[in-house]
Amino acid sequence: MARTPAELVGAQPGPPYEFAFTFDGRTVTARSGQSVAAALWAAGILAWRTTRVGGRPRGAFCGIGQCYDCLATVNDRPNRRTCLTPARPGDVVTTQEGHGHDRHAV
C-alpha cells in the first residue's frame, strides 16, 4: 500500500487560505505556504531589489537561497532572501535599494 509523504511524517495540513501583505504600499495577496518571492511573482512583480552599482532591478533568480538576487526589506529588516522567507499576513515588504543598510551608514 503506497503512502504519501504527508502520511509518513504525520502531517495534517489544513485547507489553503489567502491573506494580504504590502509591497511598496501595494496590497499583495498570498496563499498559505507561499514564500514572499512566490507571492510577488504571482502578483506580476518581477523585481524588488536594485544593485549597489548602477541601480539595476533584481528579483528571484535561483529560487533556493543561493544567489541573493531576491533580497528585500521585510518588516524593516533588510537583506531578507524572499525565496526562503514565508509570506505572513500583514508583512510589510519594500524594495531594497543597494545593500539595504543606507540608513545605518554601513
Q: pLDDT digit string (tens) for 33-80?
A: 899 999 999 999 999 998 888 888 888 888 888 888 899 999 999 999
Confidence class for position 92, pLDDT limits 50, 70, 90 = very high
pLDDT 10s digits, 2-27: 777 777 777 676 788 999 999 999 99
Pairing of strands 96-97, 49-50: parallel
pLDDT at residue 102 above 90? no
List the domain range (segments joined by +) for residue 64: 17-92
Q: Is 31 a member of any domain?
A: yes
82: left (phi over 0), alpha (psi -120 to 50) or beta: alpha
Stated as kind and residue range, the H or E segment containing 38 is helix 36-42
Q: Is 77 a member of any domain?
A: yes
9 CB-contact burial (10 Å; exposed 0-12 / middle 13-18 / buried 19+): exposed
Q: Is 55 a member of any domain?
A: yes
Q: Is 101 a member of any domain?
A: no
Q: Is 7 a member of any domain?
A: no
Q: Is 11 a member of any domain?
A: no
Q: Is 9 a member of any domain?
A: no
**What is the domain count for the chain?**
1
Q: Is 104 a member of any domain?
A: no
pLDDT at residue 106 above 50? no
